[in-house]
């Protein structure tokens, strides 16, 4: 064993199995770090030599890869942002439709941000700074929502109040929808020669 005198090691001292696991884990970690650095160094030397031999080709390949990675990350962030905008707009619409009075923009912002990120103040701050501005512009241009200055009931201050004014058009009833058709049994004639029949009566 490492760090033990020869006389002590020859006495066949038994060590716990956990000690062997610790030594094995330490060796594996060391070889992993050493192997990783060896691979990185080899790749760096290889790319450098290739760049010296073919500077245009290697430079173009590295630059193209960097641009491709950057565009992929930008596209992913843009997609995530649009999803947040759509989610926030849906929450704003639900909030306005459920309110009988106009709501101030600050109250709407705080409510929807708390619904989207109830457990993270940092993420709520990011939503207010990066997403809310886009949503506010869109709801101001939405014809279903009325925006006018007024006194905010929650703060008592003059603010832009948003009210849901859109009402879906109800489908009209057809002319015959209000009519009721009934059939009545009638009997005509008398005595032995009387005849029976049915008569349809339309009311409406």
Do 58 and 50 contact (CB within 8 A), yes or no?
yes
Alpha helices by DSSP H, the chain: 6-9, 17-53, 55-97, 105-116, 121-130, 132-140
pLDDT of amino acid 137: 92
Q: Residue 15's pLDDT band (boundaries 50, 70, 90)?
A: low
| Distance of alpha carbon 135 from alpha carbon 113, whole angstroms | 12
pLDDT of amino acid 102: 85
Computed over every residue of the chain, the mean pLDDT equals: 78
pLDDT in tens, 120-138: 899 899 889 888 999 999 9
3-class DSSP state for residue 2? coil
In the chain, what percentage of residues exceed pLDDT 90? 12
pLDDT in tens, 124-176: 998 898 889 999 999 999 999 988 887 776 667 777 889 998 887 766 554 44
Model confidence, pTM: 0.51
First and final CA of the chain: distance in angstroms?
Answer: 106
Query: Mean pLDDT across the stretch 73-95?
Result: 89
- The pair of three-digit structure tokens given for residue 148, joined into one six-digit string: 């006018």
pLDDT of amino acid 178: 46
Instruction: Give backbone dihedrals phi and psi of 49, rounded to 5 degrees, phi first.
Output: -65, -40
Burial class (CB in 10 A: 0-12, 13-18, 19+), 22: exposed
Do 86 and 112 contact (CB within 8 A), yes or no?
no
Check pLDDT > 60 for residue 38: yes
Query: Mean pLDDT across the stretch 98-115?
Result: 88
Least confident of 36-50, 67-81, 166-180: 166-180
Question: Which domains are seen in the chain, by residue range?
Answer: 78-164 (1.10.10)
Least confident of 2-11, 102-111, 137-146, 172-181: 172-181
DSSP 153: T
pLDDT of amino acid 3: 53
Looking at per-residue pLDDT, the higher value among 14 and 48 belongs to: 48
């Amino acid at each position: 064993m490492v760090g033990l005198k020869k006389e002590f090691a020859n006495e066949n001292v038994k060590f716990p199995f956990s000690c062997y696991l610790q030594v094995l884990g330490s060796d594996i970690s060391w070889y992993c770090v050493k192997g990783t650095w060896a691979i990185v160094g080899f790749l760096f030397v290889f790319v450098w030599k290739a760049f010296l031999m073919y500077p245009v080709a290697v430079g173009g390949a590295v630059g193209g890869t960097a641009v491709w990675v950057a565009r992929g990350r930008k596209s992913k962030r843009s997609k995530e942002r649009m999803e947040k905008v759509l989610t926030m707009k849906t929450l704003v619409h639900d909030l306005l439709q459920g309110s009988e009075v106009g709501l101030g923009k600050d109250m709407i912002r705080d409510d929807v941000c708390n619904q989207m990120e109830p457990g993270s103040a940092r993420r709520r701050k990011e939503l207010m700074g990066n997403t809310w501005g886009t949503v506010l512009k869109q709801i101001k241009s939405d014809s279903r929502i009325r925006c006018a200055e007024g006194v905010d009931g929650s703060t008592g201050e003059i603010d832009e109040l948003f009210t849901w004014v859109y009402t879906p058009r109800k489908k009209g009833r057809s002319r015959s929808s209000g009519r009721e058709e009934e059939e009545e049994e009638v009997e005509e004639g008398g005595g032995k020669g009387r005849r029976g029949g049915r008569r349809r009566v339309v009311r409406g």
